[in-house]
Structure 1
Amino acid sequence: MAATHPVTAEVTQRIVERSRDSRAEYLEHMAAARASGPGRGKLSCANWAHAFAASPEGDKQRMRDPTAPNVAIVSAYNDMLSAHQPYERFPDIIRKAAHEVKATAQFAGGVPAMCDGVTQGRPGMELSLFSRDVIAMSTAVALTHDAFDAALMLGICDKIVPGLFIGAAAFGHLPVIFVPGGPMTSGISNAEKARVRALYAEGKATREELLTSEMKSYHGPGTCTFYGTANSNQMMMEMTGLHLPGAAFVTPNTPLRDALTAAAPKRAVEIRDGSNDYTPFSAVIDEKSLVNAMAGLLATGGSTNHTLHILAMARAAGIRVAWEDFHDLSRVTPLIARVYPNGSEDVNAFHAAGGMSFVTRTLLDAGLVHDDVMTVAGRGLGRYRQEPFLEDGRLVWRDGPAASLDRDILRPADDPFEAEGGMRLLTGPLGRGVIKTSAVKPQHRRVEAPAIVFEDQEALLAAHKRGELDRDFIAVVRFQGPQANGMPELHSLTPTLGVLQDKGFKVALVTDGRMSGASGKVPAAIHVTPEAAMGGPLGRVRTGDVIRLDAEAGVLDIRLDPRELMARPPAAAPPSQPGYGRELFGWMRRAAGPADTGACALFEAA
């Protein structure tokens, strides 16, 4: 095993130092929760009888035994969204598996699961980021019955996994295993999908042609197959040790998927308090495991959304992660994967080429992640160099490939696609933001051009339809931050800006909003903070101001004296829009912290 890279070690140590007091307080709380004993042991007879009144007779007999383990199921099932539809079958599989180890499993609670793919460009997207906080609270409600020895988290997509994680952290004295559903099988090629989208953006394809193309891409149960936030979530759960090894990218409704689902409650029982292998969430998630998650994200060109989510997730466990940590790790973490939109192939091809076992092995061998961590599979991240298989119907793990099976998708650390990871911190007179560079060609990473200011994405799209954007420019789309309107994704701008870039124009985006895990080939400075609604400099930018975005140098500059910029009166924030439930989230917008602390309402309001 290689020695830890000095930058990895340095970043980890400064996170430890930064988190010293808050982490100690968190661990004290978890120790106190554990000391009070299993939940049902504290419940009165009436309390406990309520908890299993509707259970089958066999379960009732087990539950009368105060030593019989009981496993919570918290699920994001719904049958509208392809990623979560497979979860309909999981509770029955889990209950049966729990019975095999003389335990019970109860569906403790459901959490909402909304899809950014459905709400993209729609008012509902303004609820998207804060759905993470709602999911965290829903998870806490499910577990607060305090009747469980362990918990299984069934969730996969954008805000769902971070929300489940934050909620689980509040019950960090319990063992917690995340149970994925897996990606859908591959549809049409990503190149063909992108081609039709570009034609539609130019008015050269009809809506019917676009819908036909999209239906061939999103065609069955499972997660969307591009490497967006959902699949970045699954990578992270492996890198933190909250999955069973190799669970992330096994397709739904297959014997191997079902075997992994059945293995989760059995393992949860094995690592419960009172066993020889007690492994609570609070022991799995620490400073080192979160650095492992960040390294995995950078090495694979993962979602920009996690520059928000990891900060909020870490904070829930008493750990303080900063954008500077991403930036410094990115400088030494090679980009070893190209998965659409950063490459041409999808996550199924990534999995076939070696997938997570190859990524884990490669990063361990390069000293870019920590092996000395606890995982739900045991001590050491090295366990995740293995892949699951069925052998005569029995679940087994074998060593994954030591070499990439497709060097167009995965490469070793000494011959990467790029020497550095895919995310960088931008700073300058316009504030602080992040940029994902893994899909942006080097010649597009520096753009200096006049600004065109928009108050929302619809205004930019309308300007393009009027033919006003055939020129070099940097689009400033402001009042899109968490306190302004909930920080919606602006991914619907990608096809339009991509078409302009393909025409030879120098274009870029600067915004206090989000893009997504599907951030593409156009340079985008996102999550800019302070946001315009809170008096940030973006609120003072005017159309015609010359802006310089330099991803290589980490600069977000404006060719204007900073004193002159800040002397300008700020633009007025658009009024909050009612409808689509947005009025219910007003307190979250008001309570949300800035993007560089995770844009979370829960901690600021506490």
Structure 2
Amino acid sequence: MNLDPRIAEVTDRVRARSSAARSAYLDRIRRAGEAGPARAHLACGNQAHAYAAMGEDKAALAAGRAPNIGIVTAYNDMLSAHQPYERYPDMIRAAARRVGATAQVAGGVPAMCDGVTQGQPGMELSLFSRDVIALAAGVAMSHNTFDAAVYLGICDKIVPGLVIAAATFGHVPAVFIPAGPMTSGLPNDQKAKVRQQFAAGEVGRDKLMEAEMASYHGPGTCTFYGTANTNQMLMEFMGLHLPGASFVNPGTPLRDALTVAGVERAAAITALGNDYRPAGEILDERAFVNGIVGLMATGGSTNLVLHLPAMARAAGIILDLDDFADLSETVPLMAKVYPNGLADVNHFHAAGGLGFMIGELLDAGLLHGDARTVAGDGLDRYRREPKLIEGRLVWQDGAGKTLNDRILRPAKDPFQSTGGLRQLVGNLGRGVMKVSAVAPEHRVVEAPARVFHDQADVRAAFQRGEFTSDTVVVVRFQGPKANGMPELHSLTPTLAVLQDRGLKVALVTDGRMSGASGKVPAAIHVSPEAADAGPLARLRDGDRVRVDAARGTIDVLEPDFDARPAATADLSGNKVGIGRELFEAFRRNVGPATEGAAVVV
């Protein structure tokens, strides 16, 4: 199938915009690749330090002829998704030995759980943790003794941070190894209902805790389609996973077989062999366009509108919100997974999953089928699904059709003809909305504004019964420079209650929402942010605001708006406590949301 002309147009635009930066990047990583890892050139003392604890692998490491794989791990057991990684290093080392290679844990990176920090001060460190992860992975890889790297990470900021590091060390082949989603627990819609009942005072904390524990109940990613599972989709669409690896449950024989196969592939694509696949060459404009196509087709997390530009810049690729907007207009929404449906990712996977979706998008000309991947040239092999047959891992053709059209549909018969995200532009700035979960009748809201500087004040106003008419709730001074751009997901149950009462309600903020942004229209990432004297800082209570996802606009309808002075906020409380003191340099130097809200790229 020929490439859709609109996909080609966006790709050509990205390629032209990125020409200088990409050329400089490729020149840099090619020079690094030609120099090779320094292992063979290290002084004996340097090498002795590197190999001292490696036991049976010492001789192979000292000889310097076997591929050495660096393991960068985000293991901790605070994140259910990352708990399975505890036993991966031993599995990886054993798999490497069987193919004549060696493997070492190069370093660990922090991995915070946004589910724990939602609505808490720690959430103000969440976005910046992406840059810390990139820096920590950079330290791990700086030993320059690795022929390839395997990256163990899944959740919200972890995968983007690791991709930034993999791109920075772009001369080193990189394979991302997932751990899979937890098995299905309490259905997500039932959990959301209990949250709304608690917000409305209809049930107590005991019922809320019971529902939450029944939903988040074991190892693996949370099963809704939030940022963690969107990350896994991206790694497959962008060719950094093995085909079909994303959504196989932890602790299963197939999961372990895929992990072993990922190690074998990492050993096979080093510069020591005949199939050298440096990460920086895989991460080209085709890969990033393919990733955005996947984001739109699945109705994925709004957080990736921040992460993808930051990831791309690390590889010399410059993305703009217009690219997301144009691809969203071109790509059909093919999946309904909670919060834009009742199914979870296990149901999605069983219905045909990413293999079916990639095949459909390839046949429709909506993906770059010639993109390079860790599995080989071309995305076509990502149509296939992995299976264990008599203990041997093989890839076979998938069903070739959806097995549940309430969850997954063909590209020619989608849930809607456009993707799951919309860019919003107007006199309040530029923002984005996840529309896949918002019913059409709620996508346009024009109402007086209530302006807040703290999400806790919104909940307090709700508890006092102050929201009795249509309202655009504005929560400003939540951008990256103000307080690290926390997610405001804890507002979702409150706003959903108002909407269920029949009110027209929308959220406008320079902060973020969770990757599980739900049924309330939320104009987020609004830039320039209020702390940069952006237009949001001139809003007042009672101003008439129109949020129009149908037309892609976000405007205040007041004639004197442009002439007003910008409000300021006392942000001193956001600078101390729970580690926030350590991140002042990040707040001072962070870029705008439209460029990924990045510090290190």
Q: Which of residues 528, 543, 566 is equivalent to 2:562?
A: 566
1:14 has 2:10 as partner: no
Name the CA distance, whole Å, in 2 between partners of 1:198 and 1:38: 55
- Whether the aligned pair in 2 keeps the contact of 1:487 and 1:514 (CA below 8 Å) is yes
Name the CA distance, whole Å, in 2 between partners of 1:45 and 1:470: 74
For each residue in 1:94-121, what CA deviation from the matched residue of structure 2 results, as whole angstroms up to 9, or x when unmatched? 0000000111100110000001110000
Name the CA distance, whole Å, in 1 between partners of 2:142 and 2:9: 38
- Whether the aligned pair in 2 keeps the contact of 1:39 and 1:149 (CA below 8 Å) is no
| Structure 1 residue 276: Cα displacement | 1.3
State the match for 2:54 in structure 1. 55
- Whether the aligned pair in 1 keeps the contact of 2:483 and 2:571 (CA below 8 Å) is no
Name the CA distance, whole Å, in 1 between partners of 2:540 and 2:199: 27
Q: What one-letter code is carried by the residue in structure 2 that aligns with 1:163? A: G
Aligned ranges 1:401-550 → 2 under 5 Å: 401-550=399-548
Name the CA distance, whole Å, in 2 between partners of 1:473 and 1:454: 13
State the match for 1:575 in structure 2. 571
Q: What one-letter code is carried by the residue in structure 1 that aligns with 2:561? A: L
Name the CA distance, whole Å, in 2 between partners of 1:259 and 1:78: 22
Name the CA distance, whole Å, in 1 between partners of 2:187 and 2:35: 54
Q: Which of residues 145, 148, 152 is equivalent to 1:147?
A: 145
- Whether the aligned pair in 2 keeps the contact of 1:301 and 1:421 (CA below 8 Å) is yes
State the match for 1:266 in structure 2. 264
Aligned ranges 1:148-167 → 2 under 5 Å: 148-167=146-165
Name the CA distance, whole Å, in 1 between partners of 2:49 and 2:329: 55
- Whether the aligned pair in 2 keeps the contact of 1:7 and 1:332 (CA below 8 Å) is yes
1:181 has 2:179 as partner: yes
Aligned ranges 1:75-474 → 2 under 5 Å: 75-474=73-472
- Whether the aligned pair in 2 keeps the contact of 1:480 and 1:513 (CA below 8 Å) is yes
My pick for the range that moved more, 164-173 or 124-133, is 164-173
| Structure 1 residue 470: Cα displacement | 2.3
Q: SS of the residue aligned with 2:52? A: coil
Identity percentage of aligned residues: 62
| Structure 1 residue 275: Cα displacement | 1.3
Name the CA distance, whole Å, in 2 between partners of 1:159 and 1:85: 16
Name the CA distance, whole Å, in 2 between partners of 1:7 and 1:175: 31
Which consecutive residues of structure 1, in runs of 5 or more, have no partner in the other structure? none
Which consecutive residues of structure 2, in runs of 5 or more, have no partner in the other structure? none
The aligned length equals 599
For each residue in 1:53-82, what CA deviation from the matched residue of structure 2 results, as whole angstroms up to 9, or x when unmatched? 1111x2011112121110000000001210
For each residue in 1:193-225, what CA deviation from the matched residue of structure 2 results, as whole angstroms up to 9, or x when unmatched? 111111001001101110000000000000000
Name the CA distance, whole Å, in 2 between partners of 1:536 and 1:207: 39
Name the CA distance, whole Å, in 1 between partners of 2:570 and 2:371: 47
Q: What one-letter code is carried by the residue in structure 2 that aligns with 1:36? A: A
| Structure 1 residue 44: Cα displacement | 1.4
Name the CA distance, whole Å, in 1 between partners of 2:29 and 2:401: 41
| Structure 1 residue 566: Cα displacement | 3.0
Q: SS of the residue aligned with 1:508? A: strand
| Structure 1 residue 39: Cα displacement | 2.5
Name the CA distance, whole Å, in 1 between partners of 2:193 and 2:36: 58
Name the CA distance, whole Å, in 1 between partners of 2:578 and 2:450: 29
Name the CA distance, whole Å, in 2 between partners of 1:395 and 1:283: 27
Q: SS of the residue aligned with 1:513? A: coil
Q: What one-letter code is carried by the residue in structure 2 that aligns with 1:45? A: C
- Whether the aligned pair in 2 keeps the contact of 1:357 and 1:401 (CA below 8 Å) is no
Name the CA distance, whole Å, in 1 between partners of 2:431 and 2:136: 30
| Structure 1 residue 188: Cα displacement | 1.0
| Structure 1 residue 192: Cα displacement | 1.2
State the match for 1:39 in structure 2. 38
Q: What one-letter code is carried by the residue in structure 2 that aligns with 1:246? A: G
- Whether the aligned pair in 2 keeps the contact of 1:479 and 1:574 (CA below 8 Å) is no
For each residue in 1:396-444, what CA deviation from the matched residue of structure 2 results, as whole angstroms up to 9, or x when unmatched? 1111121100000000011100010011111111001011100000000
| Structure 1 residue 231: Cα displacement | 0.1
Q: What one-letter code is carried by the residue in structure 1 that aligns with 2:288? A: L
- Whether the aligned pair in 2 keeps the contact of 1:245 and 1:388 (CA below 8 Å) is yes
- Whether the aligned pair in 1 keeps the contact of 2:84 and 2:250 (CA below 8 Å) is yes
Name the CA distance, whole Å, in 2 between partners of 1:583 and 1:591: 15
Q: SS of the residue aligned with 2:518? A: coil
| Structure 1 residue 463: Cα displacement | 0.2
Q: What one-letter code is carried by the residue in structure 1 that aligns with 2:509? A: T
For each residue in 1:559-590, what CA deviation from the matched residue of structure 2 results, as whole angstroms up to 9, or x when unmatched? 113xx223222211222321000010000011
- Whether the aligned pair in 2 keeps the contact of 1:484 and 1:573 (CA below 8 Å) is no
Name the CA distance, whole Å, in 1 between partners of 2:9 and 2:272: 36
Q: SS of the residue aligned with 2:328? A: helix
Q: What one-letter code is carried by the residue in structure 2 that aligns with 1:5? A: D
Q: What one-letter code is carried by the residue in structure 2 that aligns with 1:585? A: F
- Whether the aligned pair in 2 keeps the contact of 1:445 and 1:523 (CA below 8 Å) is yes
Q: What one-letter code is carried by the residue in structure 2 that aligns with 1:25? A: A
Name the CA distance, whole Å, in 1 between partners of 2:412 and 2:67: 47
Q: SS of the residue aligned with 1:334? A: coil
Name the CA distance, whole Å, in 2 between partners of 1:598 and 1:191: 31
Q: What one-letter code is carried by the residue in structure 1 that aligns with 2:569? A: A
Name the CA distance, whole Å, in 2 between partners of 1:411 and 1:574: 49
| Structure 1 residue 38: Cα displacement | 2.6
Name the CA distance, whole Å, in 1 between partners of 2:402 and 2:571: 52
Name the CA distance, whole Å, in 1 between partners of 2:468 and 2:244: 47
- Whether the aligned pair in 1 keeps the contact of 2:309 and 2:595 (CA below 8 Å) is yes
Q: TM-score by structure 1 length?
A: 0.98
| Structure 1 residue 35: Cα displacement | 1.1
| Structure 1 residue 508: Cα displacement | 0.1
| Structure 1 residue 520: Cα displacement | 0.4
Name the CA distance, whole Å, in 1 between partners of 2:43 and 2:389: 45
Q: SS of the residue aligned with 2:63? A: coil
- Whether the aligned pair in 2 keeps the contact of 1:457 and 1:477 (CA below 8 Å) is yes
Q: SS of the residue aligned with 2:565? A: coil
